[in-house]
Amino acid sequence: MPKKPKSLRDLANPERELTHTIDGRGEGSRSSFEVINPSTAAPFARCPDASMDQLDRAVAAARAAFTEWSRRSFAERRRFLHKFAARVRDYADELATVITREQGKPLSNAAREIAGTAHSLEAMSNIKIKDQVLRNDGKNRITLQYRPLGVIGAITPWNVPVGLASHKIAQGLLAGNTMVLKPSPYTPLATLLLGELSRDILPPGVFNVLAGGNEIGQRLSEHPGIDKISFTGSVATGKRVMASASGTLKRVTLELGGNDPAILLDDADFDAMTPKIFGAAFANCGQVCMAIKRLYVPAQRYDQVCDSLANLAKNYRVGDGFEPDVQMGPLQNKMQYDKVLDVLEDTKRQPGVRILAGGHTLNQPGYFLAPTIVADIGDDARLVTEEQFGPILPVLKYTDVDDAVSRANDTRMGLCASVWTNDVEKGAAIAARLEAGTVWVNHHLGSEPDVPFGGFKESGLGREHGVMGVQSYMEPQVINVPVAATP
């Protein structure tokens, strides 16, 4: 195994000086901000806070690098991305350690995120984009081809900071664009390290990483030198990004939140499926856009499912992500912690509601909330109508499948959903009635590099992944050429 470069040793040291990546070089800032460990609610590192001048220079560097990068073949760009993936694998342990410190998820989950990051960089860069002949009738040859847009502004969230960044990097760069990426200020460190790892692999200016707050994000969305914004985050912030981008009619892809329902049918294998449903609801402390947020259960099996879920919640190990055998860490930040607690208090005030497990914080530092199962709650409660994005699952009773489908669709969101049954054909038929961008039968969670992903309604705009995803980072162009007449 090759030795790691001296300049990159001790990558996970919280006292190590961190820098932005601008035009292939590391650069600090005059100001900085604290990064909080959510398992202790205390700061553990400082992060450079990019200035507007640094953002302008990063955009200029990306613009300058675009011409040469876009002229390279798909095969050449693919080789660069494969080298980047290999570098990420070389530093998987260090990156996972940083993610657990800043995001809070168990170390084993952080390791899976890094493995997924490397896989995405490779697999998404293997996607083939081909010209399409629309007509060749002896008079005209009309071809639809795709060309890169220019400079991509990417804004990534705090729940899966490096994994979700890798999707944008792979698709945007494969398509021939250059990029300026801004991570969430709650989890900027691993992404800054990703930029550092790229410096001697990708040509200068192709991939720039800047850390900063909301002002930098807004300026990135407005910037006249940015041709497309790819944003993953909340619905409210996505609307602000879209408004900011409208001034220059930037192309926009928004992957936003979801109030994702799951429907258990009465013929399901409840003993086998309930643990899978629990896992899909409480993954990453419930902080996954596609996680199960509402569960609809037939009335005749309601108590059985509620008891099973409550038992799983009571035995779920919650704690610091570095502790052995921990299954769930804390909520990632104080703002989200307070929001989830506010929803929980509203839930407790609902008439007739039962808290079957959890419903309380842990008696220790950090933003910890016990996994919570809620029964007998009305459809109009905030826990049902809003995306809680935390470890609380409402279990709702139904007597008619058509009613369950109608209630599942009664939301302004439409990211993901699932149907659970022993009859997969019936499950597929019901899945087709659900208003969501992705609907699974007998499983829930996960995205694949070659399968388009995105939401209906206010859960987003456009699609990521697959051919459709890469093409969203490109502009379609029609080439119409007359065919010379045969003499």
- Over the stretch 276-289, which tens digit does the pLDDT of each residue have? 999 999 999 999 99
Separation of alpha carbons 74 and 148, rounded Å: 11
- CA–CA separation, 309 and 374 (whole Å): 10
Arithmetic mean of pLDDT, 346-355: 97
d(CA 256, CA 248): 22
**Residues 266, 249 share a domain:** no
Is residue 470 domain-shared with residue 405, that is, in the same domain? Answer: no
The structure tokens listed for 256 are 């936003």
- 33 and 122 fall within a common domain: yes
Give me the mean pLDDT over the 294-310 stretch. 98
Are 310 and 366 in the same domain? yes
Domain for residue 482, yes or no?
no
Amino acid occupying residue 309: L
State whether 184 and 302 are in the same domain: no
Average pLDDT, the chain: 96
Asked if 247 and 287 sit in the same domain, the reply is no
Task: Tell me the CA distances in angstroms from 383 to 23, 77, 358, one per residue in order.
Answer: 45, 45, 15
- Whether 448 is in a domain gets the answer no
How many Å apart are CA 467 and CA 63, to the nearest integer? Answer: 25
- Segment 350-358 shows an average pLDDT of 97
The one-letter amino acid code at 392 reads: I
One domain, residues 368 and 237: no
> Is 255 a known active-site residue?
yes
Interval 239-276: pLDDT, tens: 999 999 999 999 999 999 999 999 999 999 999 999 99
Categorize the per-residue pLDDT at 484 as very low, low, confident or very high, splitting at 50, 70 and 90: confident
Confidence check: pLDDT of 486 > 90: no
Reply yes or no on whether the pLDDT at 294 is more than 70. yes
**Residue whose tokens read 């037939």:** 298
Cα–Cα distance measured from residue 363 to residue 286, given in angstroms and rounded to the nearest whole number: 20
Q: 485 in a domain, yes or no? A: no
Q: Are 123 and 449 in contact (CB under 8 A)?
A: yes
Q: Is residue 450 part of a domain?
A: no
- Two tokens at 155? 């804004």
222 is catalytic: no
Domain holding 470: CATH number?
3.40.605.10
183 vs 484, more confident: 183
**Rounded distance between C-alpha atoms, residue 484 and residue 463, angstroms:** 39
Q: How confident is the model at residue 32 (pLDDT cuts 50, 70, 90)?
A: very high
Compute the distance between CA of residue 136 and CA of residue 142 in angstroms, rounded to an integer. Answer: 6
- DSSP state letter for 246: G
pLDDT for position 487 = 46
Q: Which helix (H) or strand (E) holds 209?
A: strand 207-209
pLDDT digits (tens, 9 = 90+) for 139-154: 999 999 999 999 999 9
Question: Are 367 and 401 found together in one domain?
Answer: yes
When pLDDT is cut at 50, 70 and 90, the band that residue 5 belongs to is low
Q: Both 283 and 202 in a single domain? A: no
| Domain co-membership, 232 together with 295 | no
Host H or E run for residue 180: strand 178-182
Residue 485 clears pLDDT 90, i.e. is over it:
no
Range of the domain at 79: 6-256+459-477
pLDDT digits (tens, 9 = 90+) for 424-437: 999 999 999 999 99
Sign of the CA dihedral running 104, 105, 106, 109: negative
Residue owning tokens 């470890």: 391
Inform me whether the pLDDT recorded for 198 exceeds 70: yes
Cα 367 to its chain centre, rounded Å, is 21
Q: Is position 35 within any domain?
A: yes
Indicate the angle between helix axes 92-103 and 74-90, nearest 10 degrees.
70
3-state percent helix, strand, coil for the chain, nearest multiple of 5: 40, 25, 35
DSSP-derived 3-state class of residue 6? helix
- Is residue 1 a part of any domain in this protein? no
- pLDDT band for 3, please (50, 70, 90 cuts): low
What is the model's pTM?
0.95
Contact between 416 and 437 under an 8 Å Cβ cutoff? The reply is yes
Inter-residue contact 185 to 243 (CB < 8 Å): no
Residue 308 CA to residue 226 CA, distance in Å, equals 50
**For the chain, what's the residue count?**
487
Among candidate residues 255, 435, 458, 464, the one labeled active-site is 255
Confidence band for 17, pLDDT divided at 50, 70 and 90: confident
Catalytic residue among 102, 113, 222, 289: 289
DSSP calls for 421-457:
-S-HHHHHHHHTTS-SSEEEES------TTS-B--EE
Same domain, 246 and 264: no
